[in-house]
């Protein structure tokens, strides 16, 4: 299936990145959390974070905005509600480490093939790492992260990804990996979980969502899929 995008680069990157996103995320959210109530969903930009403080929320929005910025291909992460998705996850079992093995011993320097090796639950990882990154930005730039220019924010994120920034309590690459993973999940999860608002992420890559039957199109590679996606709660686009 294809929607014939006008620009390949961003769409292809996000489509390829979906390999790392569990299939359940696309329809049911990364943590199987309870969906937000309709009133909160309708609030959109008026959403008030339940877990993150105002300063943390400011950082989160500024960071995911650079990970998936808005362009002609589709909405950016903030527009798609990714910060809201992540905040909701922090208040559910996922955020409390309910889906991870959290018993010691912990081996922060273990190879990536051994999986997550830190003592922090996801919510603790965010809280601790954001504070460390903000402290680093103040020391290096004299500004908080959100006050940096887009290029400077990109630079900080690249350094985190490469592990070049030595944070006080958290390996910077581990935090970046967590942030990027949750950003992808929020961008592609069913809208009922707070992200992928109006199914913008699905429309961009041509994903049909929770339609009951689109088998007729499986054997027609390259042909434009004529129907928009459908969410679990029945929203159509």
10-residue stretch averages of pLDDT, the chain, 237 residues long: 44 55 44 42 67 97 95 91 96 91 82 83 96 97 96 97 94 94 94 91 86 77 80 81
Query: Does the residue 108 lie in any domain?
Result: yes
Residue from 38, 29, 132, 128 nearest 88 by CA: 29
Range of the domain at 90: 8-217
CA–CA separation, 114 and 157 (whole Å):
24
Q: What pLDDT shows up at residue 183?
A: 97
Neighbouring CB atoms inside 10 A of 46's CB total: 7
Tokens standing for residue 69:
């910025």
Q: What pLDDT shows up at residue 26?
A: 43
Query: Does the residue 134 lie in any domain?
Result: yes
Query: Does the residue 233 lie in any domain?
Result: no
CA–CA separation, 232 and 221 (whole Å):
25
Q: What pLDDT shows up at residue 29?
A: 42
Q: What pLDDT shows up at residue 14?
A: 61
Q: State how far the alpha carbon of 229 is from the alpha carbons of 51, 109, 198, 236, in Å.
A: 30, 42, 9, 6
Enter the pTM of the model: 0.79
Query: Does the residue 106 lie in any domain?
Result: yes
Query: Does the residue 237 lie in any domain?
Result: no
Query: Does the residue 228 lie in any domain?
Result: no
Q: How many domains does the chain have?
A: 1
Q: What pLDDT shows up at residue 36?
A: 44
Query: Does the residue 135 lie in any domain?
Result: yes
Query: Does the residue 177 lie in any domain?
Result: yes
């Amino acid at each position: 299936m294809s929607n014939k995008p006008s620009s390949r680069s961003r769409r292809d990157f996000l489509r390829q990145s979906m390999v790392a996103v569990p299939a359940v995320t696309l329809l049911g959210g990364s943590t199987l959390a309870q969906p937000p109530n309709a009133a909160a969903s309708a609030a959109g930009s008026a959403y008030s974070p339940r877990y993150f403080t105002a300063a943390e929320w400011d950082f989160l929005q500024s960071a995911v905005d650079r990970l998936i910025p808005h362009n002609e291909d589709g909405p950016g992460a903030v527009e798609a509600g990714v910060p809201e998705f992540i905040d909701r996850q922090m208040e559910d079992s996922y955020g409390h480490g309910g889906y991870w093995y959290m018993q010691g011993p912990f081996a922060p320097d273990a190879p990536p093939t051994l999986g997550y090796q830190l003592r922090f639950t996801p919510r603790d990882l965010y809280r601790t790492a954001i504070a460390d990154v903000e402290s680093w930005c103040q020391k290096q730039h004299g500004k908080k992260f959100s006050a940096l220019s887009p290029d400077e924010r990109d630079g900080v994120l690249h350094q985190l990804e490469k592990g070049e920034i030595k944070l006080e309590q958290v390996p910077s690459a581990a935090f970046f990996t967590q942030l990027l993973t949750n950003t992808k999940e929020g961008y592609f999860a069913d809208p009922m979980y707070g992200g992928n608002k109006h199914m913008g992420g699905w429309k961009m890559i041509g994903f049909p969502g929770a339609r009951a039957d689109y088998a007729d199109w499986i054997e027609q590679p390259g042909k434009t899929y004529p129907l928009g996606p459908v969410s679990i709660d029945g929203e159509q686009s």
